[in-house]
Amino acid sequence: MTPENLSRRAFISGAALSTLALRTAGAGTLAPALPITLRTPLGSLEGEESAGVRVFRGVPFAEPPVGSLRFRSPVAAKPWSTPRNATRFAAAAVQAGAADVPHSEDCLYLNVWAPAAKGSYPVYVWIHGGGFVGGRSYVPIFDGTLLAEEGIVCVTVAYRLGVFGFLNLGPLLGSSYAGSANNGLRDVMAALDWVQQNIEAFGGDPSRVTVGGQSAGAKLTDILMGAPSARPLFRQMVSESGGAERVWTAEQSAAVAEGYGKLWRASTGDPISALATAPAQSLIPAQTQLMQTWPHHFPLRSEIDGSLLPRLPVETIAAGSSRGKRLLIGTNRDESAAFIGPHPEHDADAVDLGNMRPSQFLDVYEEYKKIYPEMTVEQRRIRALTAEEYWIPSVRVAESHDNGGGQTWMYRLDFHEGSGRLGAFTPHSLELRFVWEHPSPQVANAAAEAALARQMHDAWCAFLRGEAPAAAGLPRWPAYTPGERRTMIFNVESRVEANPQAAELRLWRGVL
């Protein structure tokens, strides 16, 4: 089954989230790798150097979250005394599916690509996507070699997924586990703290750290903007198909925990206390059932706990939690085309919502027929669902950041491949091929894709260096303000547009 025929729940729970972007990506042909040893504050690492780029894989940034540390906040990695092999990626976090790679509860590792030449380089910390239940830090498209060649230290990080990182175990295992729904978020913060303490050994500048991600990784980035204690850990943010809505109140989080507990007991016959010691993989079947049956999509989420997240992140952002920082944020025009098919069983009623109830959505959707009468039913559904899950939440983050004293650049990717059903759309994950510069040679308009990939990659690199995003052949990209909403529209011929989708935006004001 191809991604375009999957519901979003099946797409995510099958750990296939990046299929669209990864199907043509590869690491390329590299010069022979030579061994290299690097001394860090925690101990020596044995990595590899090739063509002026040093690579260190599977570097621990926290103690293994196993045994007594299961469901607990991450604990900083302890120093080691003998050189540590850093030539292999560590296991991915425990998750459903994705049987082609090893999984382990011992998953808190990161990977570093750095220029071999001495310097004090900007740092890009990348958070992978996967609906908070899937994905990993080391798929080929996230190879940081190109960034290192551009003079940027690239760090890709892992974090606990599913019930291990985004379920509040307090109602099930006792008050000492309260707040465990934010452990995945805390894992990313622990990785960022590791960067602050260790990245100078790799040639990185801890004062010039950009944190960014795509899909769930972008949502975590946006949520971090609203976590006051994360403020010292980074200076800039990149958000690709994100938003900061993916959080629960304490009451909602507790309800999800109770729901999971019932499924766990029913499927295993074990007492709730066994969650703390049961084999890690045995927790996944009940998680899968929860994903399939819970009335809201993505039941495993971070939580407004009153401390790490004091309130809804966009409210904290608007109050200044990201003041003075720079943000590059945007979406693909047709994100939801990756998740819904051309012939829904119930037309507009067959919806895949991330942030609101169907009744609320259908009231807004009815208005789409008036502002887009030329679109087909499928096109209108894709546009409306994209707005609900990605575009409107991203606009809210951008406007909150601006109101809170930050600077923002907004984009929208409109480029489409030109062949196949999805060839007429710009689906979720497509931008990864462009910003990581892994264009596909197999699409109908391959030459145009390669040219745009070079431009978008260069614009991202300029931003990571602390400059305004820019590239040869692109029009000047002005900063975004809520009044003019100037947005870079990436396409075969890119353009800047003021107030794009203005009529559509008016439909959503005050809805989410």
Q: Which residues are catalytic?
A: 215, 335, 428
CA distances from 312 to 16, 179, 225, 308, 318 (A): 29, 15, 11, 11, 10
Helices (H), 229-344: 250-268, 284-293, 313-316
Helices then strands, counting H and E runs in the chain, come out as 16, 17
Residue tagged 């809804």 (tokens): 312
- Which residues are bridge partners to 153 per DSSP? 123
Instruction: Name the residue with tokens 């926290």.
Output: 62
Distance (Å, rounded) from C-alpha 432 to C-alpha 415?
A: 12
| Strand 326-332 with 204-214, pairing | unpaired
Pairing of strands 487-490, 407-413: parallel
**Taking a C-beta distance cutoff of 8 angstroms, is the pair 276, 71 a contact?**
yes
Spell 399-417 as b/e; 16+ CB within 10 A means b: bbbbebebbbbbbbbbbbb
Residue tagged 């971090």 (tokens): 224
Among 192, 93, 170, 173, smallest CA distance to 138 is for 93
- Cα–Cα distance between 220 and 211 in angstroms, integer? 10
Written as six digits, the tokens of 415 are 């480029």
Nearest CA-CA partner of 163 in 281, 273, 56, 269: 281
What is the CB neighbour count within 10 angstroms for residue 465? Answer: 15
| Length of the chain counted residue by residue | 512
Query: 479 is written with which tokens?
Result: 């900063």
Beta strands in 3-151 (DSSP E): 34-40, 43-50, 53-60, 84-85, 92-93, 103-104, 109-115, 121-127
Q: What is the DSSP letter of 200?
A: G
Distance (Å, rounded) from C-alpha 276 to C-alpha 262? Answer: 16
List 43's β-bridge partners, or say none.
Answer: 40
Give the C-alpha separation, 52 to 411, whole Å.
Answer: 32
Judge residue 108's burial from the number of C-beta atoms within 10 Å of its C-beta, 0-12 exposed, 13-18 middle, 19 or more buried.
buried
Rounded CA separation 497/484 (Å): 9
CA dist 451 → 35, 219, 445, 480 (Å)? 35, 28, 10, 25
